[in-house]
Amino acid sequence: MPYCRECGAKIIYDRNTRSYVCPGCGLIYTPQDLIADARRGIEAGLEAEEKKRRKYAEYLEWWTSSKK
């Protein structure tokens, strides 16, 4: 189950409204919201990975060039 983006509580599915509700702060999520959130999270994670990799590559480049 996903977690609330506001308070971090576990979101529960409400059969009556067919939406996801946060028991912590009462925020309501539609399934589309959750999919969009998950996609954003994955993209943000990939971007962070890529940034890390680029930084390391830059560092390596700097390190090898400074050793010359």
Contact residues for Zn ion (CB under 5 A)?
4, 6-7, 9, 22, 24-25, 27
* Token pair listed for 5: 């983006």
Return the residue matching tokens 């919201």.
Answer: 33
- Rounded to the nearest whole angstrom, what is the least distance from the CB of residue 29 to Zn ion in the complex? 9
Q: Which residues contact 22 (CB under 8 A, 6 or more apart)?
A: 4, 6, 7, 9, 11, 12, 28, 29
Closest CB to Zn ion among 2 and 24? 24
- Rounded to the nearest whole angstrom, what is the least distance from the CB of residue 38 to Zn ion in the complex? 16
Closest CB to Zn ion among 25 and 35? 25
